[in-house]
Amino acid sequence: MNKRFMISDENSLSPWIYVMDNEQEWDEPDGLFELMKRISKDVGGSIHAVENNFYQYTIDGVDDLIFQWDGCFGIVVICKPCKRNSTIKFLKKYL
């Protein structure tokens, strides 16, 4: 089954965008990987681990975004504060 995602804090000013999946598996990063695969397939980019960071990734062709998972916050997309609105618009294509 494909996961469905939603942004849980769309009106925040934080550069951290919290994304929830319909299964809400906070202890498993499966949702993060599915979301990144959807995006990487569409943009034609590879997924890369951020050096020396556990569960942080970038995607070729998706500039300035870091995709992260942890047991406390779940799926987080980190962007530049000035690009928050455009990042949310971009992410909504894959939710």
Measured at the alpha carbon of residue 15, what is the angle toward residues 90 and 66, in degrees to the nearest 5?
65
Enumerate the H helices of 1-95 as residue ranges: 30-43, 84-92
CB hemisphere CA count around 85 (13 angstroms): 1
Q: What is the pLDDT of residue 91?
A: 95
* Domain enclosing residue 55, as ranges: 5-92
Q: How many domains does the chain have?
A: 1
| 42 pLDDT more than 90 | yes
Describe the strand order of the beta sheet including 16-21 as a list of residue ranges: 5-7, 16-21, 74-78, 62-70, 56-59, 47-49
| 74 pLDDT more than 70 | yes
Give the burial string for 17-45 (b: 16+ CB within 10 Å, else e). bbbbbeeeebeebebbbbbbebbbeeeee
- pTM exceeding the 0.75 threshold for the entire prediction: yes
Q: What is the pLDDT of residue 13?
A: 85
